Structure 1
Amino acid sequence: MLPYPDIDPVLIHLGPLQVRWYGLMYVLGFIATYLLVGFQTRKFHWRELEQRLENLNLVLILGVILGGRLGYVLFYNPSYYLSHPLQILATWQGGMSFHGGCIGVIIAGAIYCHRHRLDFWKTADLYVVTVPVGLGLGRIGNFLNGELFGRVTDVPWAMVFPGGGPVPRHPSQLYEAFLEGVVLFLVLWSLKSRPWREQSPYWPHGSMMALFLILYALVRIFVEQFREPDPQLGTVALGMTMGQLLSVFMLIGGTVLWLVRIQTKKAARIS
């Protein structure tokens, strides 16, 4: 068994204000996305997007935060928030849903691209390959917070988490940081600018977004086998956790999106 690191989840105390590691990870993730998307727009000489990068990033950040919070409220604890509606605003107490954030950022990005005449699918492909960086950092933030820990186990690298009782558990946050962060980033980044993608009818604009949805869903379904289910929900259907159930819909959505985009590209070539 490994000792859980004795790290204060609060990085800096500024009187009544606190700067937490988890919040810092969000900020670092947003900065990484900004820099990596900016690098790609310069590389591909897409001046229209480069000129609107700051405004679009702000819109997407709002989409992530609003979608993530509302997703948690609706997917994970609706009865509590119906009884305590003011607590919906208490984001500092924790409670964000990746799937809700994903929906929020897609809607926000689609609206912005439509209003400013940007190619949504092309834009989405540039952004989505950077998302795993933020995901990996966010999971490290979960680990430092001692939250979203794993199920009870006797593996040699198990840890006793402060909020998980006296029993050793999987450090599932680190599994997610590696799979959702490192592995997904390496796969997507290595594929993003392959020249054969432009020539193949099976890699239209939007395919990188679809691939992300598919791969993330598969990773999340797998890693939830090691993560303690949310106590207020447990398993919700067919022995699946809420994260797994939402990921099944995500997997279906990503597959359908890819097939639709392939047909759209083929139809455009014929016409």
Structure 2
Amino acid sequence: MTTIHPQFNPVALDLGFVQAHWYGLMYLLGFGMAYALALYRTKKRPDWNNDMVADLIFYGAMGVILGGRIGYVLFYQFGEFLANPAYLFKITDGGMSFHGGFLGVAVAMWLFARRYKKAVFDVLDFIIPCVPTGLLFGRIGNFINGELWGRVSEGGYNWLMAFPQAWQADSELLAQNPNLANVAVKFGEYNLLPRHPSQLYQAFSEGLVLFVLIWWFASRPRPRMAVTGLFVLGYGVVRFITEFFRQPDADQGFILLGWVTKGQMLSLPMVFVGLFLIIWAYKQQIYDWGSQKNSQ
């Protein structure tokens, strides 16, 4: 049985003079949860305090927003940027990239580390366990907006969903593959195809599963870089896998071997970088907190 996407109103609150969109609220929830979790982590870390956490979240928010936008434009809309550099500032057109946001946060954490005279991986290891909840809320925001939908499936799974927002793509697929009419569902004047709700797959894997794994791993002292390495490795793996269920961007398609997406191309290096960081961390054996803490 295929269900129809609920078609949520993207505006969560409309006061006339100001509107609050669900996607923006998801960002706020993500930052708020990261702040609360970071405050909790200070209980085991006497080298961190509430004021530092507030600054850290501010730096991180700027890294996510600026890096996410710049990354999206450079990774996914570079041709548009070359034709019109002002496109970078057209934030009303939407477009954010996790990989760009991740790089933006890395730069922001480096700046924060310089200000507070900390090792950058000490900072990253501290805040990274709080990051997956932001990914969870972000993917829920994607689902509410009915964007970044999944690939068409003929598997007949009970959780497949038809997205009215994908009517044009569905119409083109039906024209190319008339046999798909057997699984199409009627929605008004359109025939919609059953798709994987990949936003929810990513919310579960990138958000919930990765959060539980990283939070558990970081709950006891680990060598510097190990927590960061596990996150980078874990995200690279789950993103590479979930991309098999997510519809590639229409203007990108499959960019390698007829099946590799841009998201997979950007995620694969994360797997190798994460493995390197974990191996190097345990080889160096530098601890920033706990009874194993190295003298500085």
Q: Give me the TM-score of the superposition, normalised by structure 2.
A: 0.83
When structure 1 is superposed on structure 2, of 218-227 and 50-59 the one drifting more is 50-59
**1:29-72 deviation digits (Å, cap 9, x = unpaired):** 0010111011111232234x433222221111111111111110
CA distance in 1, matches of 2:122, 2:105: 15
Tell whether 2:250 aligns with 1:231.
yes
Report deviation, 1:24. Answer: 0.4
Which structure 2 residues correspond to residues 215-254 of structure 1 after superposition, within 5 A? 215-238=234-257, 239-254=259-274
**1:70 counterpart residue number:** 70
Tell whether 2:76 aligns with 1:57.
no
Secondary structure at the residue paired with 1:38? helix
Tell whether 2:196 aligns with 1:176.
no
**1:164 counterpart residue number:** 166
Which structure 2 residues correspond to residues 126-205 of structure 1 after superposition, within 5 A? 126-154=126-154, 155-165=157-167, 166-194=192-220, 198=221, 203-205=222-224
**2:228 counterpart residue number:** 209
One-letter amino acid of the structure 2 residue matched with residue 115 of structure 1: R
**1:64-112 deviation digits (Å, cap 9, x = unpaired):** 1111111101111111122232221122321000001001101110121
**1:263 counterpart residue number:** 283
Report deviation, 1:169. Answer: 0.9
Q: Give me the TM-score of the superposition, normalised by structure 1.
A: 0.90
Secondary structure at the residue paired with 2:165? coil
Moved over 4 A (4+): none
Alignment check: 8 A CA contact 1:42 1:50 kept: no
Report deviation, 1:183. Answer: 0.6
**1:2 counterpart residue number:** 3
**1:152-193 deviation digits (Å, cap 9, x = unpaired):** 113322111122122121100000001111111111112212
Which stretches in structure 1 are left out of the alignment for 5+ residues?
Answer: none
Report deviation, 1:6. Answer: 3.2
Taking only aligned residues, the RMSD between alpha carbons, in angstroms, comes to: 1.9
Secondary structure at the residue paired with 1:214? helix
Larger Rg: 2
**1:22 counterpart residue number:** 23
Tell whether 2:122 aligns with 1:102.
no
Secondary structure at the residue paired with 1:19? strand
How many residues are treated as equivalent by the alignment? Answer: 261
Alignment check: 8 A CA contact 2:7 2:146 kept: no
Alignment check: 8 A CA contact 2:150 2:196 kept: yes
Which stretches in structure 2 are left out of the alignment for 5+ residues?
Answer: 168-191, 287-292
Report deviation, 1:16. Answer: 6.0
Secondary structure at the residue paired with 2:3? coil
One-letter amino acid of the structure 1 residue matched with residue 201 of structure 2: Y
**1:43 counterpart residue number:** 44
CA distance in 2, matches of 1:264, 1:190: 22
Rate the CA distance shift 1:16–1:76 in 2: closer, same or farther, 3 A.
Answer: farther
Alignment check: 8 A CA contact 2:125 2:228 kept: yes
CA distance in 1, matches of 2:271, 2:217: 19
When structure 1 is superposed on structure 2, of 211-220 and 85-94 the one drifting more is 85-94
Alignment check: 8 A CA contact 2:198 2:242 kept: yes
CA distance in 1, matches of 2:216, 2:44: 15
One-letter amino acid of the structure 1 residue matched with residue 213 of structure 2: V
When structure 1 is superposed on structure 2, of 71-80 and 35-44 the one drifting more is 35-44
